[in-house]
Amino acid sequence: MPEIIILAIESSCDDTSAAICVDGKVVSNLTANQHVHEQFGGVIPELASREHTKNIIPVVAEAIKQAGISKNQIHAVAFTRGPGLLGSLLVGGIFAKSFAQAMQVPLIDVHHMQAHVLAHFIDAPMPAFPFLCLTVSGGHTQIVLVNDYLDMKVIGTTIDDAAGEAFDKTAKMLNLPYPGGPLIDKYAQLGNSAAFKFTEPQIEGFNFSFSGLKTNILYFLQKELKQNPNFIDENLNDICASVQHTIVSILIKKLLKASKETTINEIAIAGGVSANLGLRNALTETGKKNNWKTYIPQFQYCTDNAGMISIAAYHKYLRNEFCPIDIPIKARLEF
Ligand code: KG4
Ligand code: ZN
């Protein structure tokens, strides 16, 4: 049987990424990160689109080069259709459509959040179906019931902010640059997670809420700063450790509830926040106590990357799920 070679492109937010996968194996995966947003405390959509237009051609060219193939060997082109920032998605989407049309190969649209889940099928160990995946990123917090590669159901979601936003907004209050999640993670390792107490929300079912926690942290900092203007500098590690502990505890409690009620013990985490060491350790510990088989992606496949898009596309290719060239890009897109 001939090999199936897929070029995949991811541009939903502020990372421009391209990957090549051959028969379901990621052989190159390149990402250009955008540092232009650091000073603004969040992604500026217009700047993100402009950076994508600068990065997309060199990133794709390098992914093809590193895979050791020529562009004539590509059988299909995949791209993230949504959800994400419209201008950012358009750059990757239009590039993919043009490339596919020029090379006369089929086009595959990929759902960004499904691709985060399918990052677990890039390398072994791979979860067995059905499994639960806690997908935590800058824009989403979901518990997903995964029945098959392309058969997934969101059984819990955030009713306001995402877990990544809780990290990033806390970091902004602490005067740390964007994205603050990795920095909170770094300082948390040096701090005492029991130093400060924050309130965990009581939300029904498998849903999450993080906006109350954000307000709780803001009022706490305002009160402490009134008494001691150096409070943040003097307590940065302990604040980060305590906030991280609270966010992780909220996430893990809902996973426990979902596992109990579905009786599923195959438990995975995915998305940018799954790079968090506190969450990774808590999942492993909770897994040991509850007889779970746990799955944690390699760091390079937690945050946005085209490798995960290529794997999702490979499974769509096997099922002949191609899309028309005029398929619209969607900033909001359900499963
Ligand atoms: O999946 P992702 O790269 O992009 C989206 O689809 O949103 O996730 C980005 C989010 C950001 O909020 C970032 O702060 C967070 O993931 N993040 C982390 C860590 N690494 C990335 N949050 C906590 N700890 C980390 N180590
Ligand atoms: Zn993402």
The ranges assigned to domains in the chain are 5-117+302-318, 127-297
Distance of CA 212 from the midpoint of ligand 1 (Å): 20
Give the pLDDT confidence score for residue 1 in this predicted structure.
59
| Assigned fold of 5-117+302-318 | Nucleotidyltransferase; domain 5 (3.30.420)
Pocket flag, ligand 1, residue 139 (CB < 6 Å): yes
Structure tokens at 195: 């130093």
Distance (angstroms) between ligand 2 centre and the Cα of 118 equals: 12
The model's pLDDT over 129-155, given as tens digits with 9 standing for 90+, comes to: 999 999 999 999 999 999 999 999 999
Tens digits of per-residue pLDDT, 175-187?
A: 999 999 999 999 9
Whole-number pLDDT of residue 42: 86
Ligand lying nearest the CA atom of residue 240: 1
- Rounded to whole angstroms, how far apart are CA atoms 229 and 194? 22
The model's pLDDT over 198-226, given as tens digits with 9 standing for 90+, comes to 999 999 999 999 999 999 999 999 999 99
Q: What angle do CA 105, 110, 116 make, to 5 degrees?
A: 135
Q: Is 155 exposed, middle or buried (0-12, 13-18, 19+ CB in 10 A)?
A: middle
Q: Which of 303, 304, 308, 332 to mutate to test the pocket of ligand 1 (most atoms within 8 A of CB)?
A: 303
Ligand with smallest separation from the Cα of 270 = 1
pLDDT of 2 above 80: no
The third-level CATH classification (topology) of the domain covering 127-297 is Nucleotidyltransferase; domain 5 (3.30.420)
Output the CA 98–ligand 1 centroid distance in Å.
30
- The answer to whether 5-117+302-318 and 127-297 have equal CATH topology is yes
Looking from the CA of residue 164, the nearest atom of ligand 1 is 12
Q: Which of 96, 142, 149 is nearest to 122 (CA)?
A: 149
Total Cβ atoms within 10 A of residue 239: 26
pLDDT digit string, tens, across residues 24-42: 999 999 999 999 998 888 8
Phi, psi for residue 122 in degrees, rounded to 5: -80, -45
Q: How far apart are CA 123 and CA 288, in angstroms?
A: 22
